[in-house]
């Protein structure tokens, strides 16, 4: 072979090498619902009251994480965490505050765009990044959907936007986020408002509806903090469920399940499009929700509280070209707010920044867990969607520590402002053990864990909540903006 011929071959190979490597990078599709309980799939609870064949199909091919939790059980804080990979106290978002500036971190899609990915976002935005600010959030194509512009067809509009792009054969690896609104429309049901993603019909007689939750009453020994927050929340027209009885909750849950079925159908259309276009090949699929929904548990509707129904979320990861042989469940403790971004970066072969506090779930999704371990996770909240009770309008923060067998919560205010639940033996969280002498050691161990977290990640609020051995702090009036 002549020298110049060899040189030409080397130049050609070097020229095309980046494209060959890029082609090996997996596509990534992140499917997000809004306000879906971790157990609200027929693959989990059976099909007597709820049928989710498309979500079930993902669980049948991938790994379903049975102990996945949101970083904060409210839309904007949860999404700020997911799309930066940082805890809510780091992003500055603990509540739905539209007056707050964007998080001090680049968005999720930036490293993928820098690595040669085409980046798409379809659907509910609810992020403080300006959609046009590509350098900050990283999504080259943003098709956000505003509720007031598409009353009655929000989620179908999301699917249509995604399908228009994903039906075309992609020529480079892509990251696509498909973000739905449902079953968030359950917020409208008690208020008698129009559903942004379309009606589901009137519920039948209560006897034909799903059972009301067994834990629909306040917990035994409930903290005065939670009791006061429930009263203050339910003085607002946003939460008109203070007088709900068993049959009311049954009807609400019927509607909730119909909304989940609606969004399951939308997800099915996207999955069908991926398959028909061939874009499902070498594609990582991730399905989750931003947070859960109480749906009557502990006499709450909606989210924000630190009970299991509110903080637990579905999470399914289907590795590229997975077959049913790789399916299963995993019970490691997961915080979706900080663990999703490292996971996606790992699959894309993009270095995970050192400042990200989460861990890649790839070893768990591929059943190569090895030394993967985590003893606890921390969830955060700030409840300020409240009215006045006895002249006091509360605005209270909380921190939740979840371990294998227990859940410990401490609040910023309250006389008895701690809770401890034995979720192994009392999964419905019906009895608060925090003040029982026989559980003092477990309570104190969780205080220590939270203190450790506060020091490691600079959570000064958590450290403050623990001061003076969690001495009483009377609930005071807050001038909430």
* pLDDT digit string, tens, across residues 366-381: 988 778 999 999 999 9
pLDDT of residue 148: 66
Q: What is the pLDDT of residues 55-72, one digit of tens each?
A: 999 999 999 999 999 999
pLDDT of residue 144: 85
Intervals of CATH 3.40.720.10 along the chain: 27-227+243-374
As a whole number of angstroms, the distance between CA 71 and CA 457 comes to 14
In the chain, % helix, strand, coil (3-state, to 5) comes to 35, 15, 45
pLDDT of residue 123: 95
pLDDT tier at 147 (50, 70, 90 boundaries)?
low
Average the pLDDT over each of 132-146, 292-306, 339-353 and give the range with the smallest value.
132-146
pLDDT of residue 1: 52
Q: What is the pLDDT of residues 171-205, one digit of tens each?
A: 999 999 999 999 999 999 999 999 999 999 999 99
325 has a pLDDT exceeding 90: no
23 has a pLDDT exceeding 70: no
Q: Is the omega angle on the peptide bond into residue 183 within 30 degrees of 0, that is, cis?
A: yes
pLDDT of residue 19: 43
Asked if 213 and 295 touch (Cβ cutoff 8 Å), the reply is: yes
pLDDT of residue 14: 41
410 has a pLDDT exceeding 60: yes
109 has a pLDDT exceeding 60: yes
Intervals of CATH 3.30.1120.10 along the chain: 378-470
pLDDT tier at 480 (50, 70, 90 boundaries)?
low
SS3 (DSSP) at 260: helix
Query: Whose CA is closest to 191, among 234, 244, 238?
Result: 238
Cα 261 to Cα 50, 253, 312, 401, 444: the distances in Å are 7, 12, 19, 32, 43
Q: Which two tokens stand for residue 325?
A: 């042989």
pLDDT tier at 12 (50, 70, 90 boundaries)?
very low
Q: Looking at domain 378-470, does it have CATH number 3.30.1120.10?
A: yes
Question: What is the chain's mean pLDDT, rounded?
Answer: 93
Query: Whose CA is closest to 390, among 231, 221, 244?
Result: 231
Residue 406: its H or E element = strand 406-411
Pair type for strands 27-33 and 174-179: parallel
93 has a pLDDT exceeding 60: yes
In 317-439, which residue ranges form alpha helices assigned H by DSSP?
336-348, 362-365
The 10 Å Cβ neighbour count of residue 476 is 11
Task: State the architecture of 27-227+243-374 in CATH terms.
Answer: 3-Layer(aba) Sandwich (3.40)
pTM score, whole prediction: 0.94
481 has a pLDDT exceeding 60: no
As a whole number of angstroms, the distance between CA 122 and CA 250 comes to 33
As a whole number of angstroms, the distance between CA 178 and CA 144 comes to 10
The sign of the CA dihedral 294, 255, 71, 481 is: negative
As a whole number of angstroms, the distance between CA 411 and CA 462 comes to 9
- Helix (H), strand (E), coil (C) string for 261-288: HHHHHHHHHHHHHHHHHCCCCCEEEEEE
Cα 2 to Cα 6, 7, 9, 10, 11: the distances in Å are 6, 9, 11, 13, 14
């Amino acid at each position: 072979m002549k020298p110049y011929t060899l040189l030409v071959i080397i130049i050609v190979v070097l020229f095309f090498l980046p494209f060959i490597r890029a082609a090996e990078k997996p596509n990534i599709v992140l499917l997000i619902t809004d306000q879906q309980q971790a157990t609200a799939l027929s693959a989990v609870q059976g099909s007597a009251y709820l049928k989710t064949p498309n979500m079930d199909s993902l669980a049948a091919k991938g790994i379903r994480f049975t102990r996945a939790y949101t970083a904060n059980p409210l839309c904007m804080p949860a999404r700020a965490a997911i799309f930066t990979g940082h805890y809510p106290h780091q992003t500055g978002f603990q509540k739905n505050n539209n007056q707050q500036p964007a998080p001090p971190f680049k968005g999720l899609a930036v490293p993928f765009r820098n690595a040669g990915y085409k980046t798409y976002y379809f659907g509910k935005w609810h992020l403080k990044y300006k959609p046009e600010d590509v350098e900050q959030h990283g999504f080259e194509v943003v098709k956000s959907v505003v509720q007031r512009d598409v009353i009655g067809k929000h989620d179908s509009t999301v699917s249509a936007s995604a399908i228009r792009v994903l039906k075309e054969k992609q020529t480079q690896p892509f990251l696509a986020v498909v973000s739905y609104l449902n079953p968030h429309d359950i917020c409208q049901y008690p208020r008698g408002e129009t559903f942004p993603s379309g009606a589901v019909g009137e519920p039948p007689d209560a006897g034909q509806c799903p059972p009301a939750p067994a834990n629909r009453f306040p917990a035994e020994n409930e903290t005065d903090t939670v009791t006061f927050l429930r009263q203050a929340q339910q003085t607002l027209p946003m939460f008109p469920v203070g007088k709900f009885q068993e049959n009311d909750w049954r009807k609400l849950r019927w509607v909730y399940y119909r909304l989940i079925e609606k969004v399951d159908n939308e997800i099915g259309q996207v999955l069908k499009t991926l398959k028909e276009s061939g874009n499902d090949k070498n594609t990582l699929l991730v399905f989750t929700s931003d947070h859960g929904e109480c749906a009557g548990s502990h006499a709450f509707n909606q989210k924000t509280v630190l009970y299991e129904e509110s903080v637990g979320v579905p999470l399914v990861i289907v590795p590229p070209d997975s077959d049913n042989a790789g399916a299963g469940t995993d019970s490691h403790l997961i915080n979706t707010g900080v663990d999703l971004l490292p996971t996606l970066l790992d699959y894309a072969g993009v270095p995970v920044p050192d400042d990200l506090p989460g861990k890649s779930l790839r070893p768990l999704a591929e059943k190569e867990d090895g030394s993967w371990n985590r003893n606890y996770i921390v969830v955060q909240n700030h409840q300020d969607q409240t009215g006045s009770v006895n002249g006091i309008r509360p605005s209270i923060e909380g921190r939740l520590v979840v371990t294998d067998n227990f859940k410990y919560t401490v609040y910023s205010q309250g006389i008895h402002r701690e809770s401890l639940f034995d979720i192994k033996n009392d999964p419905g969280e019906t009895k608060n053990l925090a003040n029982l002498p026989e559980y003092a050691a477990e309570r104190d161990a969780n205080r220590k864990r939270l203190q450790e977290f506060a020091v490691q990640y600079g959570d000064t609020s958590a450290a403050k909540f623990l001061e003076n051995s969690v001495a009483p702090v009377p609930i005071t009036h807050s001038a909430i903006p």
